[in-house]
Amino acid sequence: MAELNEAQRDRLDEDQFAFPKERKEPLNNASHVRNAIARFNQVEGVSDDERDAAWRRIKKAADKHGVEVSEKSWREIGKK
């Protein structure tokens, strides 16, 4: 995954994060989208409504960057 340094991360608009209020999980490229999915359940201090909104942003970014997402909901992450 291409790492973002602090300056690059600071330049990202809020809408480029899964959790914009917290500025957690950037969604600016395919590797970051995959990472946001993998780390989704590690984000603390957010409500289910915020998770629902974050999941919609992740799905939109996944479509944009060509990342396949098999889960229909964030509640399915890690379940088989």
Would you mind telling me the total number of residues written for the chain in this entry? Answer: 80
Query: In the prediction, which pLDDT does 47 show?
Result: 96
SS (H, E, C) the chain: CCCCCHHHHHHCCHHHEEECCCCEEECCCHHHHHHHHHHHHHCCCCCHHHHHHHHHHHHHHHHHHCCCCCCCCHHHCCCC
Lowest mean pLDDT among 28-32, 53-57, 59-63, 76-80: 76-80
Tens-place pLDDT, residues 38-64? 999 999 999 999 999 999 999 999 999
Please choose, from the candidates 49, 54, 66, the residue with its C-alpha nearest in 3D space to the C-alpha of residue 26.
54
| Contact by Cβ (8 Å): 58, 29 | no
